[in-house]
Amino acid sequence: MNLPRKLIALLLCTAALLPIRAQAVSGGPEYAAADSPTELVTLDIATSAGSAVLLDASGSEIHTLWEQNADKRRGPASTTKIMTALIAAEKMPLSAKVTVTKEAVGIEGSSVYLTEGEVFTLEELLCCTLLESANDAATAVAIAVGGSIEEFAALMNEKCEELGLTDTHFTNPHGLDHDEHYTTARELGIIAAAALENEALKKIFSTYKMTVSAPEGGSRLLINHNRLLKSIDGCIGVKTGYTKSNGRCLVSAAERDGLRLIAVTLNDGNDWHDHTLMLEAGFEAYERVSLCEYTNVALPEITVTEGEQSSVRTQFAEDVYITLPKSGARIECKIECVPTLPAPISRGTEAGEIIFLSNGKEIARTRLVTAYSAAKKKEKGFWERIFG
């Protein structure tokens, strides 16, 4: 088996033979994984941003790979619309019809010049909001979903609490300046990670060009403001922003071979260059690895009592993926399993677990199950007992 290049695994596999109750396995994954780099690499990054962060959002947890004033509160400008889209997609079907109200017409800043009474699907309005950064479209979305700007902002802030954000507060869906409208680079990255989990939104974030309807049978051409979609391999979004007081704001994301990185800069006059540097540095230093393949450990066989066969092989119940530095990682693993199982045994019967460690600290684990079934030995009949 070919191990990832430049990675070094130290396999300390201990059969502890702890008594674990065997049972049939059903349902989805039940492993706990840290999903984090075991050893952080010092990335050579310098930006002109007031705040910046590079996040690994590949797994169930989000981890910081590099940061610069990442927890300082700043205005997010139109990157606010990432949260607007997330709330809308969670609260209303994208196919829902939305009629533009007079309150959404003539909003200052970026616009697609909506007129009162126009009808769109929610998805079309989100495309206007995210590609053209249209403040009027964001307002139309907020009113349709929340009933008012104030009620929609309340939904945004409830989502912040759900995500565990303590330095983010929204007052509107578009990002126009307000003293109580702020976030941090790190928390904005967490919002982007949540939004990218929605496949429909991910598709919109990564769309470069499309059209929607306009009055009198015309059409509006929407062009994504994110130029990184054309210049970064694997780029999947996310959102640009600018106001005079907050400067240029940008959230970008890219995926390569299972590794998803999110870069955020706030108040950065050279953001296109800085995001290219941040993302490329991350992909150069890290990769996403299957621990089950990486360790390539020989799994134990379990003794079968009263069975047609004497033992049964074990296998991983689920694979575990983790982000590791390409420069080398020291991984240990410990196996704990039952010594015996009574027949009959069904394929997938729980037999133990494998624990992955780095520097003595657990980073992930997954269950071991039987790879196939084992029938119970048939009792001998009367004549077999006499002559057998």
- Going by C-alpha positions, the residue among 126, 257, 260, 268 that lies closest to residue 197 is 260
Catalytic residue chosen out of the listed positions 78, 110, 206, 358:
78
159 is catalytic: no
For residue 100, the number of C-alpha atoms closer than 13 Å in the C-beta half-sphere is 25
User: Which string of DSSP letters, residue by residue, matches 190-259?
Assistant: HHHHHHHTSHHHHHHHT--EEEEE-GGG-EEEEE-S-THHHHSTTEEEEEEEEETTTEEEEEEEEEETTE
Catalytic residue chosen out of the listed positions 51, 58, 110, 133:
133
Quick one: 325 exposed, middle or buried, by C-beta within 10 A (0-12, 13-18, 19+)?
Answer: middle
Rounded Cα distance, 286 and 76, in Å: 28
CB-CB contact of 76 with 183 (8 Å): yes
Catalytic residue chosen out of the listed positions 36, 51, 58, 81:
81
Residue 218: how many other CB atoms lie within 10 Å:
8
CB-CB contact of 84 with 302 (8 Å): no
Rounded Cα distance, 67 and 44, in Å: 11
78 is catalytic: yes
CB-CB contact of 271 with 49 (8 Å): yes
Distance from the first to the final alpha carbon of the chain: 47
H-helix segments, 25-172: 81-91, 122-131, 135-146, 149-162
CB-CB contact of 249 with 236 (8 Å): no
Phi then psi dihedrals of residue 10, to 5 deg: -100, 115
358 is catalytic: no
Q: Which tokens is 198 given? A: 């929605």
Rounded Cα distance, 66 and 361, in Å: 22
| Number of residues in the chain | 388
Element of type H or E holding 86: helix 81-91
What residues are annotated to the active site?
78, 81, 133
